[in-house]
Amino acid sequence: MKLLGLDLGTKTLGMAVSDPLEIIATPVGTIHFAERDLAFALNETEKIIREKGIQKIVLGLPKHMSGDVGTLGDYVYEFKKMLEDKLQLEVVLIDERLTSKLANQTMLLADLSRQKRKTKVDKIAATFILQTYLDMKKK
């Protein structure tokens, strides 16, 4: 089964896909949209889902270090419902704490420039979200 990992922000949506064996997550891209324009993000996500043959979605849920859902939690829950209603696919929420920070650190180690890091952080964070889910399923 192919899965889609999503890192939702207020203006961007990072995306990653799994291989059919659900072993490795690979970055796909980032959708840019007007602030909080979830309808546009949903339509663009649907295109990727159809193109890639996605059967399940893993969506990052922002949490504080205390474990409480972050300020964007309601926004993510709204997008989850939109995805489920329109696409009729299972959407799994997964804790996305520190994924953007980890993505930035990984790119720093790869010696990417600040500009390149800025353009790649969302899809790399989506990759970490999806890979975390894939690794949890193996255990």
Question: pLDDT tens for residues 32-85?
Answer: 999 999 999 999 999 999 999 999 999 999 876 677 887 889 999 999 999 999
Q: Please, what is the average pLDDT of the chain?
A: 87
Q: What angle do CA 64, 9, 51 make, to 5 degrees?
A: 125
Helix pair 73-87, 38-52: axis angle to 10 deg: 50
Domain ranges within the chain, ordered by starting residue: 3-138
What's the whole-model pTM score?
0.86
CATH number assigned to the domain covering 3-138: 3.30.420.140
Q: What is the pLDDT of residue 60?
A: 95
Q: What is the pLDDT of residue 84?
A: 98
Lowest mean per-residue pLDDT among 3-7, 37-41, 117-121, 132-136: 117-121
Q: For residues 120 and 112, is the Cβ–Cβ distance under 8 A?
A: yes
Whether pLDDT at 107 is above 70: no
d(CA 34, CA 93): 23
Q: pLDDT digit string (tens) for 16-27?
A: 999 999 999 999
d(CA 13, CA 132): 18
Q: What is the dihedral of CA 111, 12, 7, 84, to 10 degrees?
A: -160
Is the alpha carbon torsion for 7, 100, 120, 107 positive or negative? Answer: negative
